[in-house]
Structure formats: C-alpha cells, structure tokens
Structure 1
C-alpha cells in the first residue's frame, strides 16, 4: 500500500521540491534527502558522480551545496528554519548537512527574500543582451559570496574577458580531445523527455550520444564558448580560501546565493568551468586572479534576451529516502 503523507509531511516535502531545483554538473542532480523527524538530511548521491570530469567529486559537492541553499531559503520562506549542521565528516562522507526545522510554519524569516528566484533561475546558454551589469550589482554579488564563505571576482573589462575566453577555449579543446571525457559526456546526453542529463539541440538523444562519443568537436565548441565569453557583459570566478570538501559545500551555498540574487535583479548565468576542470588550466586561471585560494566556478552573467524553459528534474520519489 502506498504511503499517505500527513499535511505536515507534505509541507516538509515541499521544501525538498525547491531544493532539487538547484543546478548541477551535466544536470546529474547528485543529491538525496532523508527525513528524520523535524530534520532533513542532505546526502551526496555518488552513483551520479562524473569520475572523468570531476574525479574528486568537487563539482558534485558544489551542486549539493546549491541544493542546500535552496532548502534553507525555502525553509526560511515558510518560517521553519531552525538551524543547520554542516558536514561532511570523515566517518560518513556522504552525509553533507542536516537542516533542522521548526515543527510548524510561521512568519517568513530573514533570508527568505530569494524564494521566488528559486523557480525563476535558469542556466542560460544563449547570448545575453548588450547591457552592462551595474557596478553596484556586482558589489552586491561579491558581498553575497563573501557572506557565504567564498569570494567572487568580477571581470567586465574587454581585454580581461578575452584572456579568460582564450583559457576557456583552450580547455575546451583539451577536454574534447580526451575520448574518456567524451564517453562520459555522452552518457548524460538524454532524450528531451528524460528527467536528468542534457540534450543537444536539434538531435535526438541516441544520435547526440553517438556524435559526442565519436567525434572530437573541440574546435567548434571552443569557438562558440570564446564568442559567448567575449560577448558576455560579465564573467565571474567564485572561489574559496582552501580546497576541501567543506569548502566545496560552502562554495555551492555561496554560488546559489549569488545566482538567486542575480536572478532577482533580472540576470541569468551559465557555466564555463572548463579551465577549472583541467588541473593545469586551473592553475593558469588562478594566476590571472587577484584573490588567493582556489577557483571553484567560472560563470558568465548577463540579461537574457528571451525566456527559456527550466531544465528537467527527477521526481521527489527518486531523491527521497524515508526513515
């Protein structure tokens, strides 16, 4: 017999439904949630890891940090946020965080103003409008990242953007030249009706899978990404002082805070993480930055020219472990 949830449980599940709207590498959605009384546990789902692209689960942990931020914003919106215990611990590395909830809903709490942006945020891979991002907004995004335990470096000057665009293009060519990387990417090229993974515009899933697996398209991808980066009003690098799993989780929280704040101001973003995914390129990227520490995410930000549909998501039943 199917389990019938109480109204109280349904309200708690609604928080998780907002958490899973977070972005993730390859739209892999590498998270699981567990309800334990008035606590929601966030766990890494390492069965959805990307061992070639992300051999240390750094991006996986960042993705989970984004989901954690969504969860906390939603809990505050419904007046239920009580506290959070940030992990992981060596003895249980998959358990990343516990969010404690008030047993009943109350007035919206501080930090809930980003709630509407959770459903409005998109990964926007098209050209942005030719409209600069105001310096005041850039400073606000930097402050959001800093409050989350990370740093954010904004790059708006054309010459500096072009230097980053060249790094992105070079990393594209290096990644696409690796057959193992292409095979892993192909595994996540799914039909548009799938609830995870990515689609290649104009190609059915099986054909896209075969094309990605078989052909080095690095030059073409490099040219497209260089053009997108050069033409974006703003490139940003988010990083942390250190480079441990706890820092990756914090980077994800800070990243999602930045994305939601940007979305609330009318911006959208997409990822150009390729230089961070190649160890030697990550060092070169770091050498171009003012901040010390470890670059974790490279984004392009701007004003979208059209509305786009949200990426697909797995159902709640697929990510929920019940006590």
Structure 2
C-alpha cells in the first residue's frame, strides 16, 4: 500500500503555505499521520474581529489544501482528498491519502509552477481586457471544484458592485476594533507574516470604483489611477456550511492559479462578504440562490510585491 512520507509532507506544506489568507494570517498547519498528509486549522491564527465565525480561515485552508494537492500530483502521487474527515477532531480540515501513482497532467504542472508566482497585487492594473478564452477557463476552474464564478460585465453590473463594496467598507471603517486588528497586521516588520508596505494598496481616492484596505496609507503616484472598468469575479457555492467554505477555498485557489498561469494579476475583495447585509445585497444582485464567498479583481499589471511566509518547519506538527 502506497504511503506518503516526510518528503511528501514537506513538499505539500511548502506549497500549502503559499496560499492566500486574510491579512496574511496563515492559519494552517500540516502533519503526517498513518501515511496520509493532513491539513489542520491553527485556531490561534484566526482573526478574532474580522473573522469571528471562521469563514476567511476556512477559505484559506481550502486554498492551502488545493496547493498541497497540486504539489503531491506534481511529484507523481496524486491525493484522494477527504474534507472534514473526523468529527471528533474539528481542527482537522483535510486528509490527503495517496492515489495510484501517475505522471502529472500538463494542467497540474502549469498550475504547480504558478504557485510561487501567485500573490495579491493590490496596485492598479492596465486597462487591457482579459481575453474571452481565459475568462472561460476561470469559470471552468471554479466549476471543477464544485463552486460557481460570475464575472461582472459592463458598467451597470460594476457600478452596482461598487456601491455594495463601498457601503460595506464604510461599515467596517467605523468599527474601531476591526481597524485596530487591521493595523496590527500592517507593515509589522515581520519577515514571516502580515502585509508589508510594498505589498499594500495605495489609499482609496474618490474616483476609485473599488475600495482598498488601508494597509499603511501610501499615496499613489500621479497618473496611476486604478483601471476604470476592472474585471471583477464573484465566487460562490450552493451552500454555506463549513464544508462549502472549504470547497470555495479550493475553487478560489484553482481560479487564481489559472489566472496567474495566464499572465494575470489578482487581488481579493472581501468587504462585501464580511458585512451580512452587503453579502445579501450582492447575492440578490447576481440573481443567485447560492452564497457569494469571495470577490476579486483580475487583470494585467506590472509585477507586485509578495507578502512574507513562515518557514516550512514552522507549520509542521506531530
């Protein structure tokens, strides 16, 4: 019987910790047990104000699981994944057991190569449109993981989203505890977590269609406005259980890596999901019966600045 070993664990964790997480909080751990690689939640890294219910943590853990899957498939031993495999161990998020050995597919190779090149680019993108064939690939990437992706087309849809996003952002800005937590993760000087100044967005200005989080308060250079008609994606699931949110995280990472492989940049927009009334408005604006789980913008842009990550040894547990 095939079993994963310590080198597989290291490989999976190295890929997993490159996943996106809210404020770069990195709420994950990895272990090897009975020949399986397991992904675990690290409750001590859950954001206590911005993510009191654990939604963002579960999206991050789903994304980390997808990266771990890719790393194992790239090495020739793909994984069979069971989400929430043990009800007696709530922090156990996913168990990856070895499937029969095979060579990685071309898609797996391409997406694996994109892991280290994917990071949130919060700077303005160029106005060049995302090609139609790439848009189709993004939608399919979400569908494969059991999620849906709506790409907003036209200024009517974008203006409606903008109003919802700005309204949610104003609610969050009025919460002093929320803002204090945001500041705690901003330009911390840490080499392993938080959002450094170079990776932060510039301060939102009156003409901006989409609000930016105030990571550091940098002003933008003259003539560097954000794109007037960005490509905004809304990713969602049929349900809103913990399992659905983990599935959404896997779908999100599949979409983001597909975009990265196509030469695109991306950044996440979570404010409309964090405020319940805004989330419901967003759902109704899409005409969807399901639940929006995250929004993001995608486009062509100049190289950004990745946020730091912990060392692999720091995320391994016995």
Q: TM-score range by the shorter chain?
A: 0.7 to 0.9
Instruction: State the distance in 1 between where 2:205 and 2:289 align.
Output: 27
Indicate whether 1:314 and 2:297 are aligned: no
Q: How far off its partner does 1:21 sit?
A: 0.5
SS in 2 for 1:321: coil
Partner of 1:57: 54
Indicate whether 1:226 and 2:209 are aligned: yes
- Structure number with the higher helix fraction is 1
Partner of 1:147: 144
106-115 or 177-186, which moves further after superposition?
Answer: 106-115
Q: How far off its partner does 1:111 sit?
A: 5.0
SS in 2 for 1:288: helix
Contact 1:79 1:109 in 2 (8 A): no
Partner of 1:284: 281
Instruction: State the distance in 1 between where 2:169 and 2:314 align.
Output: 33
In structure 1, which of residues 80, 83, 94 is the aligned counterpart of residue 80 of structure 2?
83
Instruction: State the distance in 1 between where 2:279 and 2:169 align.
Output: 13
Partner of 1:137: 134
Query: Closer, same or farther in 2 for the Cα pair 1:202/1:62, shift >3 Å?
Result: closer
Contact 2:165 2:210 in 1 (8 A): no
Query: Closer, same or farther in 2 for the Cα pair 1:11/1:43, shift >3 Å?
Result: closer
Partner of 2:153: 156
Partner of 2:268: 271
Q: How far off its partner does 1:89 sit?
A: 4.6
Indicate whether 1:172 and 2:155 are aligned: no
Instruction: State the distance in 2 between where 1:310 and 1:202 align.
Output: 6
Indicate whether 1:98 and 2:91 are aligned: no
* Superposition misfits of 4+ residues, deviation over 6 angstroms: none
- TM-align CA RMSD: 2.5
SS in 2 for 1:123: coil
Instruction: State the distance in 2 between where 1:127 and 1:88 align.
Output: 41
Query: Closer, same or farther in 2 for the Cα pair 1:288/1:89, shift >3 Å?
Result: farther
Query: Closer, same or farther in 2 for the Cα pair 1:145/1:250, shift >3 Å?
Result: same
Partner of 2:216: none
Contact 1:76 1:112 in 2 (8 A): yes
> CA offsets per residue over residues 160-208 of structure 1, 9 Å max, x none?
11221121111111101101111111221243443111134599xxxxx
Q: How far off its partner does 1:126 sit?
A: 0.7
Q: Return the TM-score normalized by structure 2.
A: 0.87
Query: Closer, same or farther in 2 for the Cα pair 1:135/1:106, shift >3 Å?
Result: closer
> CA offsets per residue over residues 88-135 of structure 1, 9 Å max, x none?
5543221010011369x7632575231101111120101111111122
Q: How far off its partner does 1:159 sit?
A: 2.2
Q: How far off its partner does 1:15 sit?
A: 2.3
Contact 1:240 1:247 in 2 (8 A): yes
Contact 1:170 1:222 in 2 (8 A): no
SS in 2 for 1:235: strand
Instruction: State the distance in 2 between where 1:26 and 1:252 align.
Output: 16
Partner of 2:29: 32
Instruction: State the distance in 2 between where 1:317 and 1:26 align.
Output: 21
Query: Closer, same or farther in 2 for the Cα pair 1:167/1:88, shift >3 Å?
Result: farther
Instruction: State the distance in 1 between where 2:102 and 2:169 align.
Output: 48
Query: Closer, same or farther in 2 for the Cα pair 1:33/1:223, shift >3 Å?
Result: farther
Instruction: State the distance in 2 between where 1:307 and 1:222 align.
Output: 22
> CA offsets per residue over residues 42-80 of structure 1, 9 Å max, x none?
011111111221121011001000000000011111111
Instruction: State the distance in 1 between where 2:133 and 2:154 align.
Output: 16
